[in-house]
Structure 1
């Protein structure tokens, strides 16, 4: 019973946070909703008996990919003063989310103690003596090979998009000439002058 309750709880939270990731106007909020979706997806993987994938979601996606997205978003000239001004207004929503996450953790601990959900038998029918990592490797590189490669292509496109956003042209700045800097002679780099008191120098 508790496994079914935890499954529906995590599934609803994944769908809700994914929808908020797409519809959020603020890119920082969108990344935070994405991190919440990753955490709930990891909870679903734990219920299915795939602890290895759950740890990958937390370590790789939340610890690396989402943090990379957050760094890229913070380089987009966002007005953080406006974000901080709304802290008190969003405080009740933050408390509700914190209570909800605490409830999810409690339910997940109870569901994990009760055992993996029976859906795992239908999702990956494997013998009991096969380790979890071996079974996942066999499934990823046989039955789900094209889906696995497609996920890699999606991450590649996301990385290219992040690079394009950070390397956009900015107006009002002088372009850097690498060749001119490298070919400059040492005697052209500095100039010694002895200006009089209060006279200054001519550039």
Structure 2
């Protein structure tokens, strides 16, 4: 047994063990971490099978984006695990039946692809271009229209998800872009012309020396 074959069996065992722990772990965080391990093991298996593009895509897309989002959501939400596990064995037969049907469908599709006798023999020029370049040529030449249809479907799904989750909130302080665009200077600033108001100067306070004189003059006026 050579080294690539030994590594293939090791990564396969780790992949199966991590996948089993994903569905049996009691903690959602542990299940998500085991799923990350399963993705890494699957990418290593694909690297051994010379599928470099699929391996890098699995690590960048699922591990780097999807699983990080799952971990953030699981760790931020207060999930009652005991309530989620209630009725697990009640739904287990139906879930097992669905899993067996999915496995049989995948086997029916994938097993004919492992027939080496019907596989085309690549020429020397194709071997020199590499796996990723050959995949790009096949996608953007022979499967261009299915690729465009899949892109449109994904775009429609994104727009539908945003439309379903977008709700008007009363406590939202977001601005309406359409109202900002239609705003004019006359609606925001108004110039009002007013006369200038000048306050009268305050009266000077009476000094202490003039106070007896004012009192004497008031007595003379009273006598007269």
- Normalising by the residue count of structure 1, what TM-score does the alignment of the two structures yield? 0.47
Larger RCO (CA within 8 A; separation ≥ 6): 1
- Normalising by the residue count of structure 2, what TM-score does the alignment of the two structures yield? 0.43
Whichever of the two has the greater Rg, that structure is: 2
